[in-house]
Amino acid sequence: MSDQALQGARDWSGKTAIITGGASGIGLAIATAFARRGAAVCVVDQNAAGAREAAEGLGEPAAAFGCDVSDAESVRETFGAIFARGRVHILVNNAGVAHVGTVTSTGEEDFDRVLRINVRGVYLCTRAVVGHMKEQGGGTILNMASIAAIAGLPDRFAYSTSKGAVLAMTFSVARDYLADNIRCNAISPARVHTPFVDGFVAKNYPGREAEMMEKLGRAQPIGRMAQPEEVASLAVWLCSDEASFVTGVNYPLDGGFMNLRG
The residues carrying an active-site annotation are: 159
What is the spatial distance between Cα 160 and Cα 162, in angstroms, rounded to a whole number? 5
Beta-bridged to residue 16, according to DSSP, are 40
The DSSP result for 170-183, as a single string, is HHHHHHHTGGGTEE
Cα-to-chain-centroid distance, residue 106: 24
- Answer for the pair 127, 72: CB distance below 8 angstroms, yes or no: no
What is the spatial distance between Cα 60 and Cα 135, in angstroms, rounded to a whole number? 26
How close are the terminal C-alpha atoms of the chain, in Å?
33
